[in-house]
Amino acid sequence: MNVHLLFIMEDKKEYILKRAFNLFLDKGYDSVSMTMLHQELNISRGAIYCYFESKDALFIATIDRFYFGFIERITPKLSMNVTLRERIDLYYSHVVELKKFYNLKKNDKFFLKYAALIIQAIKIYPSFINQMNQIREHEYQNWEDSIRMSIEKGEVRADVNTNVMAKVFVRLIDFSKVNDEELSNKNFRYNDNLKSIIEQANYIYSLIKV
């Protein structure tokens, strides 16, 4: 295949992925049809089907590109050998990275829609839960390593169960735990929720630090 043509095709595929992701994020998977996609993207259905055989395939590709892709980007940073105090500060800085990754301005509704998208992915993406479990296991290990390091440095009490405490922190920062009641609450503000989560993490840390 001509190299120039290959670049054009890749650019068009990337364009479709970006625009489709924004539609799925803004309107939800169920409300987005192939007709809407080709109208909003100003691309024929045939052109979309040239890259993706179905709406499901396109949705899964957007999750791979913009959800798992973001996780892959920040994984090296979150896998650093740091203390618990440093990991708490480091982890929540990923929200800033998240907004940069999607080139977003301040938007409380984005995080609510983002959480809803994850819930939809659980239902539609066959291997989503398995991949998330693998990521979560890696997170558990990172947090447990940080807690153990803090114990060795004398910053955290020696009687803390590192395994249980790691699960507490991972559960606390889990995006997918936003429930249906919160998703339907028009007054829900994720920035306020994030502030609350950080306060909880800092409080837990204050209970176990030396």
C-beta separation of 197 from 191 below 8 A: no
Average pLDDT for residues 122-130, to the nearest whole number? 93
* Whole-number Å distance between alpha carbons of 101 and 103: 6
pLDDT in tens, 95-114: 666 666 665 555 556 767 87
C-beta separation of 156 from 150 below 8 A: yes
Q: Name residue, tokens 């996609």.
A: 37
* Whole-number Å distance between alpha carbons of 40 and 34: 10
Q: Give residue limits of the domains in the chain.
A: 3-208
**% pLDDT > 90, the chain:** 41
pLDDT at 205 over 60: yes
Give whole-number Cα distances, 180 to 27, 108, 193, 206, in Å: 16, 17, 15, 31
- In CATH, what number does 3-208 get? 1.10.357.10
Give whole-number Cα distances, 138 to 47, 78, 79, 144, in Å: 38, 10, 9, 10
Q: Which residue has the higher pLDDT, 56 or 194?
A: 56
Length of the chain: 210
pLDDT at 11 over 50: yes
Q: Which residues are CB-neighbours of 13 under 8 A, at least 6 positions away?
A: 51
DSSP state of 54: S
pTM (2 d.p.): 0.77
